[in-house]
Structure 1
Amino acid sequence: MLRAGFPAAADQAKEHAAEARGAWKAITGEAYGSQKAESWAPERLPVDVSQADLDAASTELVDLEADLEEAQQTLGAHKANRDAEAGRAARIAELQELAALVTRRQHKLSNDSADLQHWKDQLAAAEAAATGGKQGLIHDMARNLSDWQALAERSTSVEEENSLVSQWHTVDTLDCTRLLLDRYVQEHGSLAEAGAQADQSLARRAPEFRTYVDNLTRAVENDRRDLAAAEQAAGQLAELQAQAASIPSAEAIANAEQVIADLRQQRDRLRAKVESLRDALTTAQQFEQLKATAANHHRDVIEWSLITDALAPDGIPAEILTGALEPVNNLLAIQSAAANWAPVQINPDIDIAYDGRAYGLLSESEKWRCDALLAIAIARLSGLRFVTLDRFDVLQPSARPQILGLLRTLTQGGDLDTAILAGTMKEPMAKVPMGIQSVWIAEGSIVASISQQQAA
């Protein structure tokens, strides 16, 4: 902040000091005082507190809070169950009516399914009669087996390749044929339906049978849907009846509320105990740390306050200015004495004074003396060693040789390399001192240039 100037840096240091005081107050909980802060220390607890004490109390608090939460959830469920009793009763009555239809709908589904199967068989027989018998490999094989059975019934024996003659009733193949035909009849109907001759009267009823099958198919689907709804209602009814049976009494709810209230009081007391133990343990553990931290903040306050004072106008800036002005004022005093003029000085407020009087109160010639002596001092201190002074004719004639003498002394002594003194005069100088060149300018041109040697 010094780059922004001493005032900005001083304001920042003051702000840091205020922050340090605020930090000290936050640590100690007390208002800051410079004397109080010198020896401040936190109070020690009258009893010792261990981490084990805090852990035990914390564990007890966790268990108690878990019990309280469980009790609150249970009570909330009981109240919700009680509050839902009116709606549940109406729903139970509604479900009872639907659930009572389960047996009736099961019977209807069974009867409709049996009817459907019957008419499916009738439709299959009619369609088979319309096409000259049932079609397909299995039906052809059944008819072929029937022909073999008829052949066996028309003959008494069979002669095999080795000239062995066997009675048909002793051949196992015939028994297998009979068993297969019995199974076919069980699964696909009589061989008469599979026969090649068509029953035209039965075939004409196929559309009628198909209508029965379609209607019964829809009826069976509706039966299954209605039965599922009734069975679902029965399940919901059992669940609602179980809920109704578990409704607690008003006295039980009141007792549960009292238990919860007691648990809350115990929890609050235990919370306060845990917080107290935690604070006490923290204070005990941080006694020295708090003391050191507070001391650091106090030291920051002191140091930032010192910096603020140092950066104030009457601090370092004043010292710097005084140090910078001292050689200038010393040089001005020497030059004033050499010119036999009243002393010129620059005060700490950077005001110029001539013989103790302010610059604004000086006459024109006195101001010129001040300007001349300041310009000469700057030329010497800066190392430029060159000065130009105009309008020296503002000086009274008796003071003009004084400035000439001062400039000649400084150039001859090596303090200045060149000094030009200009003014409006009535006539050229009659006598030019040694070491000075006189140049007369008229209408912008040099008319005469006379040195001391030429004048001699």
Structure 2
Amino acid sequence: MRDGAKAASVTIAGPTAGDTLTVNYPKAEMAMTGAPLHLSRIACGFDSIVDLSSKDRAVKLVELLKTVPAREDLAATLLDFGFKDEPPAPKIDAALAKAGKTFDPALSLMNHAKAMTEAGTSLNVVDWLWRQIEHRGWDETAKKLEKERAELRGSWAEVAGEAFGDKKVQDWTPQGWTPDLAEASAEGMKAVLESARATLEAAVGQAAVDQSVLSDLRADAGKLADLKAAEEAAREKKLDAEVAVVNAEAALKPAQRAFDELPPVKQAKGLECPHCNGQVHYHCGTDGERLDKAEAISDDVLRKRRLDRADTEGKLSNAKDTLNLAKAAFNTALRAFDDAQRAVAQAEAAKKRLAEMETSTDGKAATADQVDGARQAVTAAEARLDLHQRKARADTLARRIAGMTNIIGLLGSDGCRKAKLAKVLDIFNDQRLRGLCDAAGWAPVRIENDVALTVTYGQRPYAALSGHGPQISSDQFRTRVILQIAFAVLAGDPLVIIDAADILDQKGRNGLFTMLKEVGMAAIVCMTFSMKALKDRKIPDLEAAKLGQSYWVADGVAKPLAEAITAAPPAKKAA
């Protein structure tokens, strides 16, 4: 290939003569026969883990070292947080099948727990998490739990009546809390409240009751039958509203999916090819990377796409409106049901109180002070029970939030996956990297088991190896090459491409070639030398060393080193 030429081509042959990959320029058209050579990006020298953030490095190492945790690893980690892998998965599936259900990955952890109870079995957090991981992956499962944790934090704030705080929840108490409440039991306080209410009712019953009070009680008690009927009707409306919300949510999903899958409605601006100045589109997908010729989309196609988008947007908007209306109707039905329940409870209390007052034969009359004191005792008992129950609900939510936080942590890149990676790193450092370094006579390269998975050379962090300019130092080059070869061997790459090896001194280059020979890895090693070095016969001759072949590339021509040396007479020695 020559810069400025009208046409050129590059052909790569191998591993057999029938396996070729040819790229024709200036259109950069690619043609393949057989099964051409394929290398990973790391083997080509394009990517290196030293260029990644610590978080991305952890994810990439899990992929490269194939240390994705198994269910047993997840179960062992969760056991440290008190979550047992029980009941077993077959028992869970059997219980769900018996109840006419299947595992639903869309359910939250709390709703899944309710479904397990309805199916007659208990919650297995390990099983739920593993099914979620299989369905959506580690990171997406963590995001799902983060959303559920946010909802729990909102519930805690609602119970506490104040904003959530990670430190606050550890020793939070409601306003009015007294130390003795921590030692009391809910059952004991309920008994005290019932006793106070009984005392109040007795005092009221003994007092001279105004006829209007009796009339009000009779009126309230007389509404009980109608209120119960209204309660049942409200219950049915709430259930219908719940079904409408579920149906609306189900209808929204395909509408959203159809909208997300719509093609663009505008002409996509292409990239300029550096060879032909033509327009191309860069494609990167599951089928690999490639450059396609930029084809203009006809106005008719664009017009149809705009019409399709408008139609799909309309359907999506209608689906969202339907869901919003269904949710609003459900909230209205829920409030109506709550109101109906309270009304029934009030009517039943009125009926009970009326019956007790009408059948009372005790002629003793309580004083106004006694009745007032009994009422105050009831109010105090109710307040203490409410404080205790609020504290208990808040503490329960706090424990759930803490447990979910632990789970989210072990699902993250620094959690279970990194723990599994840590077990493999020592073996990789000692058996893979150390052997390569020893073969080259270089200082040890390691991936440390610290928080950042720091890459070191001779116990010095990679970042501390940098030189004075923008180029990498020779120690950084050694580090990158050791990692490149180690991961290429793991991936089964047939060869590696190492560029800029001229950064090494003579000893370093000898070590590089010795290492490649020992590991049995084919390599294309590129170096830059001056014409003077060629004339002075200072170019490494791999053929003479029985390590491979050396080629001299100059003026767009590549030739065996021996030919280049013959064509370049040695430099004259100074007198």
TM-score (norm 2): 0.33
Q: Which has the higher contact order (CA 8 A, sep 6+)?
A: 1
TM-score (norm 1): 0.40
If you compute each CA radius of gyration, which structure gives the higher value, 1 or 2? 1
Higher helix share: 1
